Amino acid sequence: MAAHLLDAFLEMMAAERGAARNTLLAYRKDLEDYLAAHDPLRADAAALRRHVAGLAAQGLAPRTQARRLSSLRQFHQFLARERLRADDPTALLDSPRLPAPLPKPLTEAEMDALTMGAASLPDRQAATALAAIELLYSAGLRVTELVTLPAGALRGEQPLVAVRGKGGKERLVPVSRRAREAAAMARTDLLGRGKGRPQAQKWLLPSRGAAGHLTRQGVGLLLKEAAKAGGLDPARVSPHVLRHSFATHLLSRGADLRALQTLLGHADIATTQVYTKVMEERLRAVVEEHHPLALQPRRQPAED
């Protein structure tokens, strides 16, 4: 009975939705385990929750769990639509939480173009834009960490700065000479333009706003302007993209994953390990593009 229902579902997917052969095979694979253990005409929401929990217990990745749950939803929607059962038990199921996709990092050449774009902005914007880019990219700061740096965070030639990250945890991050000089110039410029109120004096990047410091939105807008001036697509540039580019470029140049975890302020190494997938994909692309065997057409065996 279950096999007959699965075949009917797959026929509908092919006829009404034009599902390709590989898509149909994927649906079949996703549903066979479920149908081997459950009667789809009688299984209730509790049974489906146990089934979905079992997927996680098998160690399946969240995306795989989400795909199988999607297959279950479509299968049970089909059964309800065909009036083979009166309800859809999947309507009460929650999808597994998926990690947010990583943004695409800028290349090193694009970072140079962004910096040049920032330098070409009007004087009232250039210094602040350069400081934001240097600190976000050279130190891997989160935008909130950047705008809430206190006035005394950067002291002369001191190479490290204490940053208060998520959960109020502090970490030391190295700050390049270029970033320190850019931040000092931006602060002098901002204070010289009337942002020297007592509240503003507290912050490295002061502002006339209520908080007294540059806002996250203000930083984002500056980066968009720098991107346009540098010939980049503004949609690709954000504070988080610069932090992501910092991590990706360090890893590509041989940085240790544990060191990167410390620099980024990740509490769990698993959060940092997402960058290894980025590097795996890049390395695979390099091999496919440049390795001599990858460039040669596969030779067919000689016929007898």
Question: What are the catalytic residues?
Answer: 142, 166, 240, 243, 266, 275
- Give the bridge partners for 170, in sequence order: 164
| Cβ–Cβ under 8 Å, residues 151 and 190 | no
CA dist 170 and 238 (Å) reads 24
| Both structure tokens of 25 | 């095979």
Amino acid at 266: H
Q: Where are the alpha helices (DSSP H) in the chain?
A: 2-17, 21-37, 45-57, 62-81, 108-119, 123-139, 143-147, 177-192, 216-229, 239-252, 257-264, 269-272, 274-290, 292-295
* Distance between CA atoms of residues 3 and 119, nearest Å: 66
Write down the residue that tokens 């929990």 correspond to: 53
